[in-house]
A and B are shown apart, each in its own frame.
Chain A
Amino acid sequence: MQLVLEKRAERSNTIALVSPLIAIGLTIVTMAILFAILGKNPLLALHAYFIAPLTDGYSLQEIAVKATPLVMIAIGLSLCYLANAWNIGAEGQFLIGAVAGSWIAVKTQGTDAGVWVLPAMFVLAAAAGALYALIPAICKVKFGASEILTSLMLVYVADLFLDYLVRGPWRDPQGFNFPTTAEFDPVATVPLLIEGGRLHLGSIIVLLVVAAAAILLGRTIKGFEIRVVGAAPRAARFGGFNSDQLIILTFAVSGALAGLAGIIEVAGPVGHLQPGISPGYGFTAIIVAFLGRLNPLGILIAGLFLALTFIGGEQAQIAMKIPLDVTKVFQGILLFYVLACDSLILYRFKLVVPNRQVARGTG
Chain B
Amino acid sequence: MELAEAIILAVLAASTPLLIAATGELVTERSGVLNLGVEGMMIVGAACGFAGAWLTGSIFIGALFGIAAGTLMSLIFALMALGLAVNQVATGLALTILGVGLSGLIGAGFVGERITPAVHLTIPGLTDIPLIGRVLFGEDAFVYFSIALIIGVWWFLYRSRAGLILRACGDNHVSAHALGYPVLRIRTFAVMFGGACAGLAGAYLPLAYTPFFIPGMTAGRGWIALALVVFSSWRPGRLVVGAYLFGAVTILQLHAQGWGVGIPSQFMSALPYLATVTVLVLLSRTRTGGSTAPAALGTVFVPDR
Contacts and interface: CB of A to CB of B under 8 A. Distances in A.
A314 to B, nearest CB: 15
A359 to B, nearest CB: 11
Contacts of A332: 94-95, 97-102
A178 interface: no
Contacts of B100: 328, 332
Nearest to B101: A328
A327 B226 CA distance: 27
Interface stretch (B137-145, B200-208, B261-269): B261-269
Interface residues of B, number: 49
A157 B86 contact: no
Interface of B: 36, 76, 80, 83-87, 89-91, 93-95, 97-102, 104-105, 108, 215, 219-220, 223, 226-227, 230, 264, 266-267, 269-270, 273-274, 276-277, 280-285, 287, 291, 302, 305
B273 A340 contact: no
Given A336-B91, A340-B84, 15 more contacts: A4-B305, A5-B83, A144-B284, A144-B291, A149-B223, A149-B230, A153-B274, A157-B274, A160-B269, A325-B102, A325-B104, A325-B105, A326-B101, A335-B97, A343-B85
Nearest to A286: B93
Contacts, number: 146
Nearest to B227: A149
Contacts of B264: 164, 168
A139 B281 contact: yes
B276 A153 contact: yes
A325 B277 contact: no
Nearest to B95: A332
Contacts of B220: 152-153, 156
Nearest to B279: A145
A153 B80 contact: no
Contacts of B277: 135, 139, 145, 149-150, 153-154
A288 to B, nearest CB: 12
A294 B15 CA distance: 39
A148 B223 CA distance: 10
How many chain A residues sit at the interface, stated as a range, is 35 or more
Contacts of A4: 305
A248 B131 CA distance: 51
Interface in A320-360: 323-333, 335-336, 339-340, 342-343, 346-347, 352
Main secondary structure of the interface of A (DSSP, over half): helix
Top-5 shortest CB links A-B: A332-B98, A328-B101, A325-B104, A329-B101, A164-B266
A342 B86 contact: yes
Contact of A329 (B36, B102, B267): B102
Contact of A283 (B97, B269, B274, B302): B97
A146 B101 contact: no
Contact of B285 (A144, A163, A336): A144
Given A153-B274, A160-B267, A340-B86, A145 B280 contact: yes
Contacts of B95: 332
B137 to A, nearest CB: 36
B89 A5 contact: no
A144 B256 CA distance: 32
A287 interface: yes
A317 to B, nearest CB: 12
Contacts of A327: 101
A122 interface: no
A339 B102 contact: no
Contacts of B226: 149
B267 A164 contact: yes
A161 interface: yes
B215 to A, nearest CB: 8
